[in-house]
């Protein structure tokens, strides 16, 4: 159904924050997202990049490019519902594997942490939508975009994986950006 390509770049945390984090510009854009206020990994009220990353020296910026097979691209054009089903079976499935791999890496390097691509999808509906506490705080990781990073610039400049947008169906590929912070 799909193939993946991974790029990893290492930066110091101060350089990464200086070059790519602009919360004053990007966090307000989260208000347009359906997850806003309905997911514990997203704004409002979540931690800041400086608070989360300030104690770390190094960051691995990870780009996961999910390239869709021709058949998936054709099928995805049938209807918005089919597009979403296929997105769940491909891109979201690949993202879940990436989260599991990064959580395993955290266990190998105690004290390290992860920032994930997009809002947390561990539960079908986030407990925040019902006003309840997070069900899996030990596994939940904050959203990269919710922390105010310039993901377009990271994907272009750092990872060489420009983001693609498509009004109908799926684009040729989708990029998930995550990070692993450690000392």
Q: DSSP code of 166?
A: -
The span of 1-9, 99-107, 135-143, 172-180 binding ligand SF4 (CB under 6 A) equals 135-143
Q: Is 73 in the site for ligand SF4 (CB under 6 A)?
A: no
What is each CA distance from 37 to 59, 103, 168, 173, in whole angstroms?
A: 27, 25, 27, 28
Q: Are 160 and 97 in contact (CB under 8 A)?
A: no
Q: Is 140 in the site for ligand SF4 (CB under 6 A)?
A: yes
Chosen residue from 26, 40, 68, 142 binding ligand SF4 by CB under 6 A: 40
Distance between CA atoms of residues 75 and 84, nearest Å: 11
User: Which of residues 143 and 179 has its CB atom nearest to ligand SF4 in the complex?
Assistant: 143
User: Which of residues 61 and 140 has its CB atom nearest to ligand SF4 in the complex?
Assistant: 140
Distance between CA atoms of residues 2 and 43, nearest Å: 31
Q: Is 115 in the site for ligand SF4 (CB under 6 A)?
A: no
Q: Could you identify the residue written with the tokens 């890496």?
A: 105
Chosen residue from 6, 47, 136, 156 binding ligand SF4 by CB under 6 A: 136
Q: Is 135 in the site for ligand SF4 (CB under 6 A)?
A: yes
User: Which of residues 37 and 171 has its CB atom nearest to ligand SF4 in the complex?
Assistant: 37
Q: Is 144 in the site for ligand SF4 (CB under 6 A)?
A: no
Q: Is 13 in the site for ligand SF4 (CB under 6 A)?
A: no
Q: Is 52 in the site for ligand SF4 (CB under 6 A)?
A: no
Contacts of 84 (CB under 8 A, 6+ apart): none
Chosen residue from 46, 93, 101, 127 binding ligand SF4 by CB under 6 A: 127
Q: What would the two tokens of residue 81 be?
A: 């519902």
Expressed in angstroms, the distance from the first to the final Cα of the chain is 37
Q: Is 126 in the site for ligand SF4 (CB under 6 A)?
A: yes
Is the torsion defined by CA of 141, 143, 146, 147 positive or negative?
positive
Binding region for ligand SF4 (CB under 6 A): 39-41, 120, 122-123, 126-128, 134-136, 140
């Amino acid at each position: 159904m799909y193939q993946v390509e991974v790029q990893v770049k290492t930066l110091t945390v101060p350089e990464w924050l200086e070059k790519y984090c602009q919360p004053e510009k990007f966090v307000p854009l989260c208000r347009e997202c359906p997850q806003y206020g309905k997911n514990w990994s997203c704004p409002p009220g979540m931690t800041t990049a400086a608070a989360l990353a300030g104690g770390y020296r190094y960051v691995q910026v990870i780009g996961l490019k999910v390239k869709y097979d021709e058949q998936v691209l054709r099928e995805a054009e049938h209807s918005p519902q089919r597009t979403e089903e296929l997105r769940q079976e491909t891109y979201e499935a690949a993202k879940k594997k990436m989260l599991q791999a990064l959580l395993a890496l955290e266990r190998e390097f105690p004290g390290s942490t992860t920032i994930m691509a997009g809002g947390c999808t561990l539960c079908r509906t986030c407990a925040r939508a019902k006003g309840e506490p997070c069900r899996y705080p030990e596994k939940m990781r904050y959203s990269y975009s919710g922390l105010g990073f310039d993901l377009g610039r990271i994907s272009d400049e750092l990872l060489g994986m420009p983001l693609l947008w498509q009004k109908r169906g799926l684009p040729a590929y989708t990029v998930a950006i995550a990070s692993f912070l450690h000392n």
